[in-house]
Amino acid sequence: MKGSILEMKINGKKYKINVKKMITSIMILIAIICLAIFGATKLVTKNSEQNEETSVATSSKIETTVKEDKHVNLVAIGDVMCHNTNYQTAYNSSTKTYDFMPAFKNIAQYVGKGDITIGNLETTFAGADRGYSGYPTFNSPEALGEALKEIGVDIVSTANNHCMDKGAKGVVATLDNLDKIGISHTGTYRSKEEQDTVLVKEVNGLKIAFLSFTYGTNGIPIPNGQEYLVNLIDESLILEQIELAKKQNVDLICASMHWGIEYAQKQNKEQEKLADLLFQNGVDIIIGNHAHVIEPMEKRNITLPDGTEKEVFVVYALGNFISAQTKQHTRDTAILDMKITQSGATGKISIDEVDYTPVYCYDKGKGVYNRYELVDIRTSMKEYEEGKGNISASLYNTLKSELADIEKVLGDPIKKTEAKPQETSEEV
Ligand SMILES: [Zn+2]
């Protein structure tokens, strides 16, 4: 060994090895290996940290975006009329009060079952001091409103051809009385500010706006400067009210429309055009009235101008909820029962089911206390067929023919459309 040079002889050949250089090379190699191991460990740790971060982010995303579906059961009834004989025979002379509850007792359960129930008040509560009156200018005992409240009516539309029957003061008194009774109202107003404040109800977490419009006020003029008193069917007012509803970030818009031709069992072109206008601008549900007879209902899938597809529903008229009218089919009505869902995942509204209870306004005859009584047609017929109940053969026959007519006009209840089963290519 000479200096740091090591001489080796392998297979007869001589090799010179610089020991210093060799040690330096080994050291460098060890350093490279160490660095490589350290780097790899660091990389693995970082990756796993990143994975953790990703999984935390994913789980918090799930928590914030997947909301539960919201369900609302919306019930609607027809025109609440009050002719002379309706209120005169609701008067209890011993208590000196009016009581409409006996008229409603058979069907109260169907009205009250809604998470929210809406009707059309086609009379005024202008006050006893103005004298109660029937057709042609209605002013009814407030007890009628109290009975509606008791059976579960939450909202009434007041925009109809009889809302001005007792003038501007009658409109204001009616709204004051409804406030006292505790029934919300839409369609007539005490001021411009009130008209611009759309009625919104939060039901089971779903925000629903209730709008109401009428074709007219039976020729009774709306005073100049007080146009806010009544929502008339006017395209610009309709669009303005829909916009006001949208500004409140509502999930659903329900419009009560007082329209159509009296005693016509089918909607006309005007109603269809208006329904299209309402739907295209954001209304989801239309509850029509005024015809005093039932008109058809329809669920549609529509495409909005922006390409969005949605489900909408219209019933053109539900008939008289109560009245003393005698014309054909004016005693028939239906209590509509809608099941609406807002998808938690997409926010989309679906009108899952629309069922109805056919009801007949039975006239027990002159001089009888609470002469008019609403009858649940199907239950009464079933009881009669089973030899139970107390209806006459003649009333049974009337109910049978009126039921056939109601079912002919409204058609089958709307059932939830089930998702199509996935087709499989496997052949068994
Ligand atoms: Zn009307």
CA of 244 to the centre of ligand 1 (A): 26
Tokens of 109: 């359960």
Which residues hold their Cβ within 5 A of ligand 1, which is an ion? 160-161, 290
CA of 202 to the centre of ligand 1 (A): 28
Residue 92 has a pLDDT of 92
CA of 216 to the centre of ligand 1 (A): 9
CA of 289 to the centre of ligand 1 (A): 7
Task: Give the Cα separation of 2 and 20 in Å (integer).
Answer: 12
CA of 404 to the centre of ligand 1 (A): 25
The number of residues making up the chain comes to 428
CA of 157 to the centre of ligand 1 (A): 11
CA of 158 to the centre of ligand 1 (A): 10
CA of 413 to the centre of ligand 1 (A): 26
Task: Give the Cα separation of 280 and 273 in Å (integer).
Answer: 11
Residue 55 has a pLDDT of 44
Task: Give the Cα separation of 390 and 382 in Å (integer).
Answer: 11
CA of 80 to the centre of ligand 1 (A): 10
Give this prediction's pTM. Answer: 0.82
CA of 124 to the centre of ligand 1 (A): 13
Residue 22 has a pLDDT of 60
CA of 259 to the centre of ligand 1 (A): 8
CA of 261 to the centre of ligand 1 (A): 9
Residue 71 has a pLDDT of 97
Residue 417 has a pLDDT of 72
Between the two ends of the chain, the Cα-to-Cα distance in Å is 87
CA of 354 to the centre of ligand 1 (A): 24
CA of 81 to the centre of ligand 1 (A): 9
Please report, for residues 1, 51, 120, 207, 404, the alpha-carbon distance to residue 197 in angstroms, rounded to integers and kept in the order given: 106, 51, 19, 15, 42
Task: Give the Cα separation of 351 and 210 in Å (integer).
Answer: 17
CB 391 within 8 A of CB 378: no
Q: Residue 58 has what DSSP assignment?
A: H
| Phi (first) and psi of residue 13, to 5 degrees | -100, 145
| Phi (first) and psi of residue 145, to 5 degrees | -65, -40
How crowded is the C-beta side of 340, counted as CA atoms within 13 Å? 31
Provide the pairing of β-strand 155-157 with 184-186: parallel
Residue 247 has a pLDDT of 98
CA of 183 to the centre of ligand 1 (A): 20
Residue 427 has a pLDDT of 46
CA of 159 to the centre of ligand 1 (A): 9
CA of 262 to the centre of ligand 1 (A): 8
Please report, for residues 66, 172, 205, 324, the alpha-carbon distance to residue 163 in angstroms, rounded to integers and kept in the order given: 45, 10, 32, 19
Split the chain (428 residues) into runs of 10 and give each run's mean pLDDT: 50 55 59 54 46 45 72 98 95 94 97 97 97 97 98 98 98 98 98 98 98 98 98 98 98 98 98 98 98 97 94 98 95 98 95 98 93 97 94 97 98 81 50
Task: Give the Cα separation of 424 and 406 in Å (integer).
Answer: 42
CA of 391 to the centre of ligand 1 (A): 31
CA of 51 to the centre of ligand 1 (A): 66
